[in-house]
Amino acid sequence: MITHDVHDCWYVADSIHAGFANAVTNTTTVADVYPYYLPLGTLMPGSVRPTCDMCLKDTMDVFASAAQNRSLPISKTYVTAAQQVDVSCGPNWVQEYVKSTKSSAPRSMYPTDTVMPLLGLVIFLATSLL
């Protein structure tokens, strides 16, 4: 098996499963899917404790970077989720603090620029799993 990118959660050559697809199809640990809703502005429920693995760590690192842009919905959900993850995975396991920046481009009043790429990913992953 040849692994591309950072970890198996992002891309595995022989299975083409992303971390999101693994989390959505994981019936044993349903909490693993909640971090992937953060970019949509959805808070993680307080009782959720996702699996502490490199997939979660890498995903949260990407989200921490995106959360710096205060015009994105994730800027309102990331810090609380990171604190929850650190409670279950250990202190400073993920970055809790994010530096605030402003978006240089004006944002649309419609969330299609955020939701549509994620929806496309979900549809692609769902059809590749069939």
Q: Can you give the pLDDT at residue 117?
A: 63
Q: Considering the chain, what is the average pLDDT of its residues?
A: 74
pLDDT digit string, tens, across residues 21-54: 777 777 777 888 899 999 999 999 999 999 898 8
Tell me how far apart the alpha carbons of residues 67 and 70 are, in angstroms, rounded to a whole number.
7
pLDDT band at 118 (very low <50, low <70, confident <90, very high): low
pLDDT band at 109 (very low <50, low <70, confident <90, very high): very low
Task: Please name which of 47, 2, 51, 48 lies closest in space to residue 22, comparing C-alpha atoms.
Answer: 51
pLDDT digit string, tens, across residues 81-101: 999 999 999 998 898 888 766
Task: Please name which of 130, 110, 48 lies closest in space to residue 36, comparing C-alpha atoms.
Answer: 48
pLDDT band at 107 (very low <50, low <70, confident <90, very high): very low
